[in-house]
Amino acid sequence: MARSLAAAMAVIIVAVAAFWSATEGFRVFTTEGARRLDVARSPRPLPAVVLEDQDGRRVGPEWLRGRVVLVEFVYTRCPTLCSTLGEVFGRLSQALPGVALLSISFDMEHDGRAELKDYALRHGADGDRWRVVRPTSGGDLRELLDTAGVVVIPDSWGGYQHNAAVHLVDDRGRLVRVLDFEPLSALIDEVTPWLAS
């Protein structure tokens, strides 16, 4: 009986230790939570890639420098999360005049200049402070997605499953936070201190 109890306790201790390790000390319980914690702990520079905006203009890494930028990863045909993110960015553009916004399409096959322009018009992107862009090469897209930890998986309806969040890039061009886009008031509270620094 005592041996059984000791063996059971050993199994429980090992299981708790493994769970503690896998959840970063009980701080995260999903891969998305782990991604967010990793970015907060280890900010990383966004890759120096060239993007093309809704007006066909080049958007290079210099556009990020010296300003706080909120980034979303979307595809313009998305009827759900991407549309919601576009609405959130529209509200953020009004609530946080000191922040720049960048909507990056990961659907290079379908999102050309006309589709980017349509997305911009639907959500109120002005083409100046808020730009809707796409990478100019598949390698640049992969580098952006890998740096941000964004997972994009084609679905059986011609769209994509992907993680959706607001990515905060500081004035040095580093990805420093991955934030929930709802509720809006909490998002604004998270971003505001970065504007003052």
- The binding site for Cu cation consists of 78, 82
Over the range 62-98, which residues count as b (16 or more CB within 10 Å of their CB) and which as e? ebbeeebbbbbbbbbbbeebbbebbebbbebbeebee
User: Is the Cβ–Cβ distance between 53 and 95 less than 8 Å?
Assistant: no
Binding-site residue numbers are 78, 82
User: Is the Cβ–Cβ distance between 181 and 88 less than 8 Å?
Assistant: yes
- What totals of helices (H) and strands (E) does the chain contain, helices first? 6, 10
Number of other CB atoms surrounding residue 171 within 10 Å: 15
What residue type is 70 in one-letter code? Answer: L
Question: In sequence order, what are the residues at sequence separation of 6 or more whose Cβ sits closer than 8 angstroms to the Cβ of residue 152?
Answer: 73, 106, 145, 160, 161, 162
- From CA 20, how far away is CA 100, in angstroms rounded? 38
Q: What are the φ and ψ backbone dihedral angles of 143, each rounded to 5 degrees?
A: -65, -45
- Reduce the DSSP state of residue 7 to 3 states and report it: helix
